[in-house]
Structure 1
Amino acid sequence: RKQSSNYPLEDVTSKDMACNVGGDTGVQGLISVPQGAELTFEFKASLIDKSKPRLEPGHKGPCAVYLKKVDSAEKAAGSGSGWFKVWDEGYDSASGQWCTTKYTPTGKFTITLPKGLQAGEYLAKPELLALHNALEGRPQFFTGCMQIKIEGEGNLVPESTVSIPGYVKASDESVTFNIYSKGKESTYKTPGPSV
């Protein structure tokens, strides 16, 4: 979906938390994918200046991907209920890296969709959370939405879903976490529901 900004989202109560500024409205076109397909998402520091780094190195924090089953991905609003998480990654104690740090060189990350998901149309939402200003009450969310159609004979549906906005609160520890407090990174839990 087309978004009009790549600035960080700091108001967790905004409807833009779902698909970013301008992304609540659908566009024409779908990407058809098979069961268990790989989806690659790319984040850029600038939509215009390609010489800028893909991700700012200081923007450290977790990553996640959510899906929302819809009747029409071209027409459905992104904000609201029905979202479920299919992947997340926080702090990797083995490598000593946050998820965002791993993908800073390319600005891309790839996930594999769970096999057996109910066939049909979905919105797919990648999400990065930069925690460098979290102590000031300014967590920075970066997101957008992709319109996909999952093919095949799957019939799995999520046990529970969440509403976006509403899936995180500004007071949540995962949103206010101090990334500069060394030794505590391994205790970090990613925002929102479990996968």
Structure 2
Amino acid sequence: MIHLIRKLGCTVAVALLVLSAGCTDAASPLSARAGEPAFNTGGGPDVAALARFKTKPQITIAWAKKWIGPEGGRLDFYGFAIEVPAGAVDKVTMFTIRLPVDPKGSDHVLAEFGPHAQPFNVPVSIELPYRNTSIEGIAQPTIVWWNNGWFDMGASVTADGLRLRTSTDHFSTYGTTDQRGGGIHTSGG
């Protein structure tokens, strides 16, 4: 019994250590590339042009992370995803998806992907929710990234119809929209 209590105590201690490290990091915004806003900076992205969820997801944790190495891997979180192909990174790297928790941002299909300032050897794919959003079924939905304005990345609907997908060589804040022009710039940025 004493052995079991010690084992349980060690397990709880390790879990608390991991959670506190994650919570500490989660409390501060990921640092974006120079000139790009990040969540919680006060100068964040204008979400007015972005798609909205038809039913707002019940998000209890707004941040996910996964260590992915040179062999590649995938991180899925509330309909958002990162797919890292083999060879995209040279060493094990922490990939993250952070969702906005403020009422204005969390109604919209919007997420910050990380790591920032990390060059990829080959493009990495990201996916954002499409089904049950205000742009589901439109002719030309797209993924946009924020750099003091929204830039069109292009997108395709996944085979299962659940998400929009695009490839990128960098991470930033991304959203989905059907608007071209009116603040949406066409760029492969």
- Specify if TM > 0.5: no
| TM-score normalised over the length of structure 1 | 0.25
Higher helix share: 2
Q: TM-score w.r.t. structure 2 length?
A: 0.26
